[in-house]
Structure 1
Amino acid sequence: MKNREHDLFVPVTATDTLYLKRIRHPERDGEPVLMLHGVMANGRIFYSDKGRGLAHFLARHGYDVFIADLRGRGRSTPKISRHARHGQTETICEDLPALQAAIRAIKGDMAVHWIAHSWGGVHMSSCLLRQPALIAQVASMVYFGSKRSVHVRNLNKLLEVDLMWNGVARLLCRSIGYLPARRIGLGADDETDKSHRQSKAWAKVAPWRDSDDGFDYQAAALQQQLPPTLYFAAQNDPCRGHPADVRRFREESGNHLARLHLLARRTGHRHDYDHVSLLTHGDAVKDHFPMVLDWLAGRYGMVDENY
């Protein structure tokens, strides 16, 4: 049977509306899951029109899945342009709380599982550390290739991060007013000047503090305890989510129940996955998506630490 799909729209300001794709089992109404994409991306990383992807996989197993497009990305409106002034502070302080509230308005007081790809994990952890009242509303979290700062040094980091992200992308933001990543083939969606500037600073090993008001997320991580979190890292991910940087993100996120699991042939998996294929490869359904089911069900002992 085919999953049910619905389009939802969540007003977040007087002019901005967030898109939520809802995918659920045709007969079951299970626990809610919120999915969040990374930079230069949108919610499409989690699903396809042909019923593929992690969102459809979880829905087929009974979960009620909500996939977000952040402000200006995907089907959220208005689209990013030189006039957009929002950045990651707004994602952390406004967008994510609004998405959580919208889901709980539909599902009631049920705790929501949070799942993210790449920089989406940074947004999610930052949101909970900044607004700890939300922690009790989140049952568990699963991150795919999420890191905050890029400490590793290699050729890919030099080309992809230092040259393109820190250099070329910054020049484009200054000349055009935003990063037209989709138009130039750099990513699936665009970024505002502010979101690029803020994420660029953190990725350059800057302190985990907010550039708008100086909020210290690192200090908050020492005071709060995040929900149980599974961190996936990919063997063939040299800089956008290098396993060592994923580990550093877990460590700076404070004391919480966590596992770091490396997706690699040498750890028993079918492939040496990369930053995208760990979510999109056809074999993921049989290879490591079942581990997500274990984590969401609270079977934490079934997921091993292997890095």
Structure 2
Amino acid sequence: MVKYGLTHSIPIAAILISPTQQSLFIPYRQGQLHLRYIPAQTSHKRLTPILMLHGAMSNGRVFYSDSGRGLGCFMAQQGFDVYVLDTAGRGKSTPLIDKQYELGQGEVIREQLPLVQSFILKRHPMTSKVHWSAHSWGGVLMASSLARFVDLQTSVASLLTFGSKRTIKIKSLRKWIMVDLFWNRFAPFCVSRQGFFDANRYRFGMDNESHQSLHQSIDWVRGEWIDHDDQFNYALAAKSANWPSTWFIAGENDTVLGNPSDVQDMMAECGLQQAKYTLLAKKNGYLNDYGHADMLTHKQANDDHFMQIKKWYLELSD
């Protein structure tokens, strides 16, 4: 895939968090990537493992908790081995983002996702594929990596996204405040003074953003789907990609960051008109009108759409 492919000679550090969770650390550049490994907790037949990816200003915690809540823990309880990635600089991956940090979203697409995919496949020699799942901007990064690398298209079993959009075309007061004012103006102003966006300091989101990833994501939301580093045209590649089984999930109350119309725009841009699409709304029979974060964190999710996700994954495994 890329020159950062994993070899068996690279030592992998592991820390046992609990009987049901483990932190794995993969050497990457001058630091290491953190993967929270949640092993299958049932004796079902061997199922395809799942890799989960967070979005912007976030980390892997959106998918799990130490107490066993979240989609990652739920899927492990259903018999799947689950891996949740903290992209470089976030969560427990090191070094953490600061004013000297130079990596952006391109390294996630071109290096980190292929590296982790290779790592998981080596840990599971009885399978040739991995399910991919992402929240918010993580879905854009996973789709970009899939569109770019043909070998990933053959080794990724499915792509499941929650509130993922590449562009934000809706217009509203909330959108102006959250995107135009905060993300496009306030955050870059902070970066110009600090060298990175210190989301922890301002109590926004779950994690910090580098100056590169911030500006690159702003450009993509407003403009073309083209790599900032080498000008690779993802939009063009997506049209001819051999996509795996794909499911886009949106929330009725996700009015800005994953507005259903913007989610559907991303599906069309990828050429995925036949992909599965679900709107989590009471009018469609769900327990709640879900928002951007609580579609993954709501206490009723286990008994609601998580059950449908379990069924979908099991059907793909048959």
State the TM-score bracket (shorter-chain normalisation).
Answer: over 0.9
2-structure distance, mates of 1:54, 1:250? 23
CA displacement at 1:11 relative to structure 2:
1.4
The residue matched to 2:95 in structure 1 has which SS?
A: coil
**What residue in structure 2 maps to residue 4 of structure 1?**
20
CA displacement at 1:139 relative to structure 2:
0.6
Where in structure 1 do 4 or more consecutive aligned residues deviate above 3 Å?
26-30
Matches within 5 A, 1:73-152: 73-108=90-125, 109-152=127-170
CA displacement at 1:267 relative to structure 2:
0.9
Matches within 5 A, 1:171-182: 171-182=189-200
Does residue 30 of the first structure (1) align with residue 14 of the second (2)?
no
CA displacement at 1:238 relative to structure 2:
1.1
* 1:129-166 deviation per Cα after TM superposition (whole angstroms, max 9, x unaligned): 11121111111111010001100001111000000000
Is residue 146–residue 231 contact of structure 1 (8 Å, CA) maintained in 2?
A: yes
Gaps of 5+ in 2: 1-17
2-structure distance, mates of 1:167, 1:293? 40
**What residue in structure 2 maps to residue 304 of structure 1?**
none
Matches within 5 A, 1:187-266: 187-204=205-222, 206-255=223-272, 257-266=274-283
CA displacement at 1:27 relative to structure 2:
4.8
**What residue in structure 1 maps to residue 296 of structure 2?**
279
CA displacement at 1:203 relative to structure 2:
1.2
AA of the residue aligned to 2:277? L
AA of the residue aligned to 1:223? S
Change in Cα spacing, 1:98 to 1:257, as seen in structure 2 (3 Å) is farther
Question: Sequence identity, in percent?
Answer: 41
1-structure distance, mates of 2:239, 2:47? 33
The residue matched to 1:123 in structure 2 has which SS?
A: helix
1-structure distance, mates of 2:89, 2:83? 17
Gaps of 5+ in 1: 301-307
1-structure distance, mates of 2:244, 2:273? 7
Is residue 84–residue 192 contact of structure 1 (8 Å, CA) maintained in 2?
A: yes
AA of the residue aligned to 1:203? V
TM-score with structure 2 setting the length: 0.90
AA of the residue aligned to 2:259? H
The residue matched to 2:67 in structure 1 has which SS?
A: coil
**What residue in structure 2 maps to residue 59 of structure 1?**
76
Is residue 147–residue 238 contact of structure 2 (8 Å, CA) maintained in 1?
A: yes
CA displacement at 1:17 relative to structure 2:
0.8
The residue matched to 2:33 in structure 1 has which SS?
A: strand
TM-score with structure 1 setting the length: 0.94
